[in-house]
A and B are shown apart, each in its own frame.
Chain A
């Protein structure tokens, strides 16, 4: 099951990330996972939130460029080599990872890692075939 990531264009200016977080907080939206990729003058903020539609709306209303991206949240055993096991499968199956980042919270003895694949559908099929657990959108609210 894929989940929705909110991707936001940010200028490298003081206070822009704060502004995003403030807006989401004000609207009772929780950030579950977050990552920033930076270029010289700008960055792209990627987030998994509990209410993606609401998050996109509040950001757009405040003149941010905010788009939705399909990503996959993979459950990884919280033990040495846990992530390596998953990456091994992906590499063996020739799946391209555009980027990845970890969840803020973890549930029980599992860690959650967000993957952005170039081919999400294919990735989901292969992960299922290897019995690697992915998180559904509906589960995010309960995290």
Chain B
């Protein structure tokens, strides 16, 4: 089912027309209500009238995470604080946290786009949605919650954690939809088995998994073990939270709701658009937000985009499953390494489950050391030491072929890599640069 046929299936010309009209209004609105954007536009020598439509988009200045931090806490709000109905905060590793504010209209928009996501993933009227993202300052829980309400479905707001209770309520209430991080979906398997549940018999038929990058192989694992369809949901609090883009049942890219979030894919170094279908940094302009609209926000997520109509009938462009972030990228001995590449190598080695950790260290000789720790599983354990050493050597070889640098591979005991119920900690960088 398509929640908003008019917006999700309009022609490219119609979309361009709507986007242009909304972009003109947005620039005028920001010029009037945002001192930060007025200064940005003045600096670029742009009067609002100079922006006629999406063809002028690339003349507009970028917005970065630093703009949000520099204007902490409320400097980017375009309405008085009293008009803001809700704020969310995400913690950064450095400096001020990122604060976002929603007016009532923004909350309605959020519910609308997440409702689109739920039906896009495969929800049906009457479904119950188990929301196992954290509720609170993090946008995951409440975003899925508002979407469930807007979609006219039933919310089961379990939040994250308390896995045994999650599983008991799943067993008793039979929700068809699960929303959580993909690593938490895998994390719950151990507890399910310990409780004597057969994961394949779970009531979940459709999952909306997001808030962290995950691979096709991780999808295969979730789908096989839980016997459900695993779809990718994308969002970031700066744009709205979850609900910016969502995979449909065809799982061939995430549909971007382009009537409200205008996407661009750019070369991260030059800031120029890359041709359709090429990898680059995803950049968004929020076309209709009131509280804290953003122009050309640099997401730092690496993806590619296609404008071809999908088999599901939606015309919203699709972005590829994410291949890492420009700022998660590790530079090791001068080579760009994405943790997703390492995960991909491991999952191609038969039987190796995605429990791994990357440790980067700098030795006394100033050479960076890349160590990949892989938890041993009974599926590929052997009593013969030479078989284990051969496996280690094969992973090392594959890693070097794909990454272009040598990596040390260390086989470790199960459970020796720390699991978290939220985001998986895949990289430990011990270098003091």
Contacts and interface: CB of A to CB of B under 8 A. Distances in A.
A46 B381 CA distance: 13
Interface string B360-399: 0000000000000000111001111100110010000000
Contacts of B415: 63
B408 to A, nearest CB: 9
Contacts of A65: 376-378, 381, 413-414
Contacts of A43: 385
Contacts of B384: 44, 98-99, 116
SS of B interface (majority): loop
A9 B385 contact: no
A10 B413 contact: yes
Contacts of A10: 413
Interface in A19-64: 37-39, 41-44, 46, 63-64
Given A9-B376, A42-B388, A44-B388, A64 B414 contact: yes
A125 to B, nearest CB: 22
B410 interface: yes
A46 B411 CA distance: 18
Q: How large is the interface on B (under 10, 10 to 19, 20 to 34, 35 or more residues)?
A: 10 to 19
Contacts of B412: 11, 42
A109 B383 CA distance: 30
Contacts, number: 55
Interface residues of A, number: 23
Given A7-B383, A11-B416, A46-B383, A67 B378 contact: yes
Nearest to B411: A42
Contacts of B378: 65-67
Contact of A9 (B381, B389, B392, B410): B381
A6 to B, nearest CB: 9
A38 B386 CA distance: 10
A39 B388 contact: yes
29 contacts: A7-B381, A7-B383, A9-B376, A9-B411, A10-B413, A11-B412, A11-B416, A37-B385, A38-B385, A39-B385, A39-B388, A39-B389, A39-B392, A41-B410, A41-B411, A42-B376, A44-B382, A44-B383, A44-B384, A44-B388, A63-B414, A65-B376, A65-B378, A65-B381, A65-B413, A65-B414, A98-B384, A116-B383, A116-B384
Interface of A: 5, 7, 9-11, 16, 37-39, 41-44, 46, 63-67, 69, 98-99, 116
Closest 4 CB pairs of A and B: A7-B383, A37-B385, A63-B415, A69-B383
